[in-house]
Chains A and B, each alone.
Chain A
Amino acid sequence: MLKEIGGIFVFLLVIVIFGNIWFHFIESILQKIKKIIHRHEKPPVWHPLPKEDTQQDEKDA
């Protein structure tokens, strides 16, 4: 009885692990395709928080 329960548990575990690997595998392929398609587009403009302010906040903390 315990062996059967253990077998079912291992079987489900294998399915979950394989499902996760499959999901990340497909996602990585789709990401690479998206990068190739959008390679000529300019990345969105980004304004970083001024460093002085960040350092001052860290000192205050």
Chain B
Amino acid sequence: MSVIKIKDLRKTYNETEVPVHAVNGIDLEFEKGEFAAIVGPSGCGKTTLMNMIGGLEEPTSGDVIVNGIDISKLSSKELIDFRLENIGFVFQAYNLIPVLKAKENVEFIMQLQKWDKRKMDERTISLLRSVGLGDKINSRPNQMSGGEQQRVAVARALASKPQFVLADEPTANLDSHATTQLLDIMKELNEEENITFIFATHDQRVMDKARRVITIDDGKVVSDVVKVNI
């Protein structure tokens, strides 16, 4: 069953002056549990595509349907609530809250969803252990390496049990060891929790790990390869 359906999606900037067609008619579907990478040169439209899938940007035309709901038609308030319940984000620059500990950063989303405290504590500790940070529960971001911070970000993205996780260049600021560690953890969580992961990336290591590689150029899909026996 498709988690995400994208139909003739378009995004044009500067419509009245010199129009820039960042996304120029894309049709895609993502199934539950997919581990997919969207790749392409800088400026090809992959970040814009990711933003529209995540409800962070409004399409010029076309539909983004998540679990049967056309999110392109939702109001900004409805979109925020939708993101909270359905989408996890991992950003290039980690974007942890610097004054909060790792545990508190992960709990943050569950607090927004008003989880029961005991269940929230259990899930937080379980997630941090899953990402190999059981000993860093009470550490603040400035006490952790880049790789560790990104793993906390992954735990946070999964905290609310989202339908899918959008990861925009998650390995861009990491060294190769941290990258490998992170990707292995994300792959494991993808398989354990059956959560869809979609990456926007230049990183060959991410492409190698992904089961599906979608190549974008000039706002269009130029190839869509599903790997067999990965």
A and B interact: no
**Residues of chain A whose beta carbon lies under 8 Å from any beta carbon of chain B:** none
